Structures are given as C-alpha cells and as structure tokens.
Amino acid sequence: MRMENRLKSKSDKNTSRWLMYAVLFVYIAINAVLVYCHEPWRDEAQSYLLCRDLSLGQLLAQMHVEGHSCLWLLLCFPWIKLGAPIFVQNVISLAICSFAAWIVLFKSPLPVYTNVAIVFSQALFYFFAVIARCYALIPLALFLNVWAFPNRKKRPYLYALTIALLIQTHLFMIVMAFLLSVWFAAEQLCDGIREGRLIRKLCPLLCPLTSALLLLAQLLPTTGKISKTNEDYSVFTSLIVFGGKLFGTFSNTGLVVILILSFAMLGVIVLAMLKAKAETRIACAIMVVSSLTLNVISVYVYPMLTNQKIAICPVVISWGMMIIAYDRQLAKSRRSFVLTTGFTVLLVAIGFHGMVLASSDVSCTYSYAEDAARWINMNVPAGTEIWTNDEPEASSILPYCDNFKRFKCRGESFSYVDWNKLVHLKSFEKDDVSLPQNGYFITSSQDTEEYLKGKGYEEVYRSPDDYLISEGFAIFRIEDLK
C-alpha cells in the first residue's frame, strides 16, 4: 500500500512538472511573438548605441550619467560588438525573464495558481521580457534571492551573491538591497558570536559590500542630472499618484485607488504577522518599506511615466509573498489560502493593463524609428548632413541606418544621448533652430514642423499617427539656406 502511494505521488509530481514546462513554453512562445512584433524605441536604442560606439572603458566611464549599473550593458556589449542588430537586446531580455519564470514555476513555495499568475503578470509578461531594459534583471535577482533564502545559513555566499546581484540591477532596488544586507549581517553576526567564528561568518558580506562599492564607483561623480520631476508632491499626494498609475486601468479616482492599495498592504502585513516567525515579520516589513520606497523614488527622482517602473512593485510584493510562504506554521492556516488567493486576484487585476498594452504592441506600431530609417536608407545619399533638435527621439533612428552612424544637433554630432549635456532638453525657441546649409532635418516637435513649413522647406517624410508612444517623425529637405 505504501509502495502504491509512493508511486502515485511520484506520478503526480511528474505530471505537475510537465504541466509547469507547458506553462513555461506558452510563456516563452507568446513573448517571442511579442518580441518579433515590437519596435524598439529610444530607451532601447540608447543602450544599443552605447555598446556599439563606445569601448569597454568608455562605457564604464559613461555610467555616471546613466543612473544604473553597467550590468545590463555588459550583457549586451559582446553581442552588439559582434554586429548583432538592436533586437538582440530583446532576445537577451526574454532569456533573463524566462529564467526568472522558471524559478517561479519550479522553485516558488506558493501555490501553482499563484505562481502562474506571477509569471503572466505585467512584469514578467511583456514589460520586462519584451521591452529591453535593465529592469529585466530585477525579478531574476529577487527570485534568486527567494530561492537561496531557506539555505542562506548553509550557503551564505550564494545568498550574499543574490543581494550583490540585486544591487547591480537598478537604483530602484538599492534600499531593498540595503535592508536585506543589514538583516543578513545581523543574522551572521549573532551566529558568529554564538559559535565563536565571527570573522568566518561575516566574510560573505564582502559580496554585497563589493557590489555596492562597484555601483558607487560607476555612479560618482554624477555631474549631470539623471532625472527629476517638476511637481511638488506631498507624501500623501505622491502615494495617490503612484496608486493611480498602478491601478489606472480600473479607476481614475486617485483617492479610491490609494485606499485599495493601502488596505491590500495592511492585509498582507496583518495576515503575515499573526502567529508568524520573526523572519517572516522582518521580510514582510522589508517588502512594505521597499514598496513605499519605490513610490518615493518614482515620484521624486524618476518621473513615473513608463509601465516598466510601475511593474516593479508587484514583483517586490511577490518576493515578500514567497518568503511568507516559507513559514510552515502560517502556511497550514486558512489565512494563508485567503492571502495567496487575494494576491493572485490582485496580480490578475493589475496584469490586465499589461495584456492590453501587449495586444496594442501587436496591432499598432510602438515606434516609427525603423520606418524613418528605412526612408533615409532609400532616399538620402551617404555623406549628406542630417540634423535634428530632438536628440533623444532622433537617436532611436540611428540603429537602423545603413550609411549614418551619427546625426547633428545644434552643430554637434551625436549617436547616443549624453544625459550630462542638458542642451537637448532646452525648450523650443523659433530663433534657435540650427539647420544645415544643404541636407535633411528630423523632428518630432509640432512647433518645429510649423516653423520649417513657414520657412518654405519641403516635408519629404511623415510617420503615420498610430504609434503607441511619442515617436513619430517628420523629415524636411533643407536646401540653399541663406
């Protein structure tokens, strides 16, 4: 009888594993189609042009104005130097997120339905997997951290390396990485004093410390402004702004949205702390503080304008939910089922917005940079001057150009955008439009278009108006300017 039960249990496990592989295959297949349909935009072009046009030393020197670690660029660097097109970044991003999805499906302590919801949430599905940015590293680092968490005392160096990786993902995660380092340091310190092996126990902390010093060396001195908002938000108002972005699909009333978000957070805290172990309560506190920190950084440092930034918050909450699930005493209670079911519903709700955008990326054009470059390749001879006054937007065209590696803006040639120079962020002035004597001018500004038309210059190309983001272009022929 026991033998039959063992065989049945083994058969059930094999069935479950094959089911998870099927889910993973569907996840990869759908995102591969989305990668094929997606048109990279200026932020994706920025990393590509940095890797294409800079040496390794120059790339590292440039990081102090990029606002994040060089890890993402180092992953793309060798492939781009070998001549791979810009889409190689999207393939790398999908590979990273697929590995993160594998960890969730096969190593997460949460129920199967919750794991599937995490994999198809707005973070891993589309936003991080398809749109190639350094954000793709965040879920991988967090889920690796969860995987290493139960055995962190047996394998402290492995756990420390996951924190070191988290530090190298993005500035958004620096506070969470710091809190995890402090928690890990406190545990190692107590164990070292109790066992009389203090130095040996503290040695793994060199991993996150070294990672933090490397990040500091890359970002300092920051002589330019990374980004900032002009609005003067109070703390409460900033929470409303963040909540409105997170749940904007279902409600335009910020106050109602923030109440929903606050009660969801409070529910997680209360349910997790009731009869939970001390480490569960600490992890829950880190989850809450990190989520609130994301809000503060999003509003006060980086403008919360992209859905990729919004999607980080559910990933952090997923990390906390997995840590909570390791508490066996809590996992056996009915509260655990309510908690995981509620979280799954939350993921599905906010993930609906990501699926809508993903379908829009298939049916519409994300950016017309490739289309504009195609026109340039067919109609503009090599050696012709091409100017612009929209440096960030126009740079997205360069990865697709056959005969042009650089454009000009206000008389200076450029490929990638140097955020240390704020000249391209100046407001439009009609008397300050630098034009070539003979050549072409690219703009995405309606004011500039009206100015050039008023001067009598011919518009030779215009992007259709069905783009998803503000990357449509107009190209004018400039001749015999006196």
Mean pLDDT per block of 10 residues along the chain (482 residues) reads 48 73 95 92 90 90 82 95 93 96 94 92 87 92 95 94 95 92 94 88 94 87 44 48 48 43 57 71 85 70 57 86 81 73 79 77 84 92 87 88 87 76 46 70 86 87 79 85 47
Q: Which domain holds residue 387?
A: 369-478
- If asked whether residues 346 and 393 sit together in one domain, one would say no
Q: Among 328, 346, 363, where does a domain finish?
A: 363
Classify residue 3: in a domain, yes or no.
Answer: no
pLDDT of residue 271: 61
pLDDT of residue 123: 84
Q: Domain tally for the chain?
A: 2
- The DSSP secondary structure of 31-78, one letter per residue, reads HHHHHHH----HHHHHHHHHHHHS-HHHHHHHGGGTSS-SHHHHHHHH
- If asked whether residues 345 and 464 sit together in one domain, one would say no
pLDDT of residue 14: 64
- If asked whether residues 140 and 278 sit together in one domain, one would say yes
pLDDT of residue 452: 86
- If asked whether residues 278 and 423 sit together in one domain, one would say no
pLDDT of residue 73: 94
pLDDT of residue 305: 44
Classify residue 32: in a domain, yes or no.
Answer: yes
DSSP letter for 439, please. Answer: E
Classify residue 66: in a domain, yes or no.
Answer: yes
Q: Among 363, 381, 408, where does a domain finish?
A: 363
- Cβ count near 450 (within 10 Å): 11
- If asked whether residues 470 and 357 sit together in one domain, one would say no
- If asked whether residues 339 and 383 sit together in one domain, one would say no
- If asked whether residues 76 and 186 sit together in one domain, one would say yes
The side-by-side arrangement of strands in the sheet containing 407-409 is 412-414, 407-409, 385-388, 439-443, 474-478, 458-462
Q: Among 348, 363, 378, where does a domain finish?
A: 363
pTM: 0.86
Classify residue 5: in a domain, yes or no.
Answer: no
pLDDT of residue 86: 93
- If asked whether residues 323 and 195 sit together in one domain, one would say yes
